[in-house]
Amino acid sequence: MTAISGLGTARLASPDLLRSVFRRHAAGVAVITARGETGPVGFTATSLTSVSAEPPMLSFGIGTGASSWPAVSATDHVGVHILGEHQQDLAATFARSGADRFGPATSWREGPEGVPVLDDVPAWMVCRVVARVPAGDHRIVLAEVVLGDPTGPGRPLVYHQGRFNGLRD
C-alpha cells in the first residue's frame, strides 16, 4: 500500500482493488436471459445501465468466460429482468456457476422472440441486441428495448458488500 498525501491509503490498480471498490457501490440486481442452442440461459447482472431514451436503449456487461456468453454472443434478443427484494434466492441461483437456473424453482415462460421471461419480477423487457463492445475480459452489450412491463410486484433488490439486500425506508 502506498500513502499519498491527503488521499489516505491508496493502492495501485488491480482486479482486487476494482472488486473492493465496487463492493461499496450499491447496485440494482437484474437477470439477463437468452435462448441458447440447448435451451434457456441466464445470469445475474449488477452492471445494467440505461443508455438512451430515444431510442430506448440499455447496456450490461458479461464476461467472455461466462457460461451464458456463447448464447448472448449469438442471439438477436435478450430478456432483462429487474429483481425484487423477494427474489434473493433467484438472484443467487442465476449468479451461481453450475446452478440449474431454469429448473423447477424458477418460474418462467417463453416470451417474444423466444426470449425466456421470468415471472413475478417488478419489471422486465425484451431487447434487440445492437452491439457487443470488447472491454477487457468482458463485453458491453448494447440493446434496444422492444417491449416490456414495469408493473410487477415488489421493491427492488440491491447488491452491496457481497450480499443481496432490500431497500430500507
Quick one: pLDDT band at residue 107, thresholds 50, 70, 90?
A: very high
For residue 169, the model assigns a pLDDT of 72
E strand or H helix that includes residue 89? helix 88-95
Q: Is the pLDDT of residue 24 over 60?
A: yes
CB 145 within 8 A of CB 12: no
Among 39, 104, 31, 83, residue whose Cα is nearest residue 62: 31
Q: What percent of the chain has pLDDT over 90?
A: 85
Mean pLDDT computed over every residue of the chain: 94
CB 108 within 8 A of CB 46: no
Among 72, 54, 55, residue whose Cα is nearest residue 63: 72
- CA 113 and chain centroid, separation: 19
For residue 4, the model assigns a pLDDT of 59
- CA 122 and chain centroid, separation: 14
Other Cβ atoms less than 10 A from the Cβ of 75: the count is 21
Contacts of 134 (CB under 8 A, 6+ apart): none
Instruction: Find where cell 461499496 sits.
Output: 24
Interval 41-49 mean pLDDT: 97
For residue 67, the model assigns a pLDDT of 96
Task: Confirm whether pTM is higher than 0.95.
Answer: no
Instruction: Name the DSSP class of 47.
Output: -
Q: Is the pLDDT of residue 1 over 60?
A: no
Quick one: pLDDT band at residue 5, thresholds 50, 70, 90?
A: low
Q: Is 50 exposed, middle or buried (0-12, 13-18, 19+ CB in 10 A)?
A: exposed
* Cα(133)–Cα(67) distance, integer angstroms: 18
